[in-house]
Every structure is written in structure tokens, then in C-alpha cells.
Structure 1
Amino acid sequence: GYRQEEGIDFEESFAPVARLEAIRIFRAYAAHRNMFVYQMDVKTAFLNGNLREDVYVSQPDGFVDPDNPNHVYKLKKALYGLKQAPRAWYDMLSSFLLSQDFSKASRPDLQFAICMCARYHARAIKKHVHAVKRIFGTYVEPFIGVYGIRRILLFL
């Protein structure tokens, strides 16, 4: 999350979770507006995405094949906890939405990139600073002449 340290669970992903207050406000607003609220379980969201590259895993403890103890498994679908799972899920969701006549935004999604950088700004290292510089160089630079750097930095 926000306080990761390099070498200690540094590659672990951050799982954003809604705060309880936000859920209570949402439910109160829905009740006020007489809206129906549907809840669904997305435990299998990361389990159905197709992988772009070959991923091999070792046999799990307790399930080792006694005839072939040194064999590994080639994954056909993404597994929860796999580094490739969020991207596989995003690709599957994106293709489904496009098939339902939704369209992609014509401008880059700055919010995602900025939020990813903001997660690590409390303990920024060289890798994080480099990512922020790439965002500024790619997306923000054309806007500096229009809005000014000070206003953009305050917005971020």
C-alpha cells in the first residue's frame, strides 16, 4: 500500500477498499431516493481473464504428483494473486464493454496513472519519481502553456 518498503512486500499489489463511512452515505442516499441497491460478489473477477504470456507454477504442497514431482503447471487462465491477473481482468472487461457498444475515451486516463503514483508518494523512491516525470512529460506538458505549472501542481 502506501507505506511499502523496497525489498519487503514491494511487489505486492494494493487493494483499495471502500471506507465504511462511504458505504453508509451511499446506502442512506439510496434510501432517501427510494433506489434499489444490488450487491454482487466478484470473487471470480480475476479467475476468468486470459493470459497474454505463458505462466508456469510449481505444484502446490500437498498436491504434488508422486510420479512427476519435478513437473510444473502451465496456466491457461489468470489466478487470483498473480501479477498478470489485474491486466487479464481489465482486458476481458474492456472487450466485453466494447462488444456492448460502449466506447473508450479519446483522451488518456490520467486519473489511474496519477492515483498509482500518489499511493507511493509518502515513501517515494527513484523508480516512483521517474514514473511521475514520465507522466508529466507525456500528458501534462501540453497543458502547462494553457493552465500554468502552479495550477497543475495544485490540482495533482
Structure 2
Amino acid sequence: AQGYTQEEGINYEEVFAPVARIKDVRLFLDYVSFMGFTVYQIDVKSAFLYGTIDEEVYVMQPPGFQDLEFPTRVYKVEKAIYGLHQAPRAWYGTLS
């Protein structure tokens, strides 16, 4: 997605995605242990691909995958993809 070419304020706005501090995780695990609860964990494969972005983003065809009939065609991105600055925030928005 060549996210390194994106400029803040032009190609994207807010990219912050919250992360739990280690102190909070330890406190949570202490409480769970004290109460005798069970903790479950999940991993969402390709999580960033599930987020929906609000900005209009267009991508060029990658080398080796060009449509020979339309070699200069660009495509509008509907969902977040790896490499976009917005991807972590979009995933958080989908998750919450």
C-alpha cells in the first residue's frame, strides 16, 4: 500500500489505536487469579484487513499484476490494508 508515501493531514488524520499498559495487564491478571476466573485469549488472523477506512484511498497496480488493457488504472481501497497508516485505528474501530 506504500503507506510511507502518505502524508499526515493530507492522506490520513487520526491513526492512534489504544494499547493496554503492562501495569494494567498485570493488575487485570492479578484480579483474575484472585477471583479464580479463567482467562481466554484470541488472535484474529489478518486483523488489519477487517477495518473499514473513512478516507478515500487509491492504489496503483503493483508491478507484475498490471491489467495489460488498462496499465495506468488505479483502484479505490474500500477496506484497510497492510501498510496504510489508518489500518490499526480502522481495526480498533471495527473491534470496539
| TM-score of the superposed pair, with normalisation by structure 1 | 0.37
Give the counterpart letter for 2:40 in structure 1. Y
Give the gaps of 5 or more residues in structure 2: 1-6
Change in 2 beyond 3 A, CA 1:48/1:36: same
CA offset at residue 25 of structure 1?
A: 0.9
* Structure ranking higher in strand proportion: 2
CA offset at residue 79 of structure 1?
A: 1.3
Q: Distance in 2 between matches of 1:42 and 1:30?
A: 23
CA offset at residue 59 of structure 1?
A: 2.2
CA offset at residue 55 of structure 1?
A: 4.6
CA offset at residue 35 of structure 1?
A: 0.5
Q: Which runs of 4+ in 1 moved over 6 A?
A: 51-54
What's the counterpart of residue 79 of structure 1? 80
What's the counterpart of residue 29 of structure 1? 31
Q: Distance in 1 between matches of 2:20 and 2:61?
A: 35
What's the counterpart of residue 40 of structure 1? 42
Give the gaps of 5 or more residues in structure 1: 1-7, 95-156
Change in 2 beyond 3 A, CA 1:56/1:14: same
- Give the match's secondary structure for 2:79: coil
- Give the match's secondary structure for 2:25: helix
Deviations 1:2-45 (A, max 9, x none): xxxxxx74635112211111101111110110111111224544
Give the counterpart letter for 1:65 in structure 2. Q
How many aligned residue pairs are there?
82
Where relative contact order (Cα < 8 A, 6+ residues apart) is larger, the structure is 2
What's the counterpart of residue 98 of structure 1? none
Q: Distance in 1 between matches of 2:35 and 2:59?
A: 50
* Structure ranking higher in helix proportion: 1
Identity %: 40
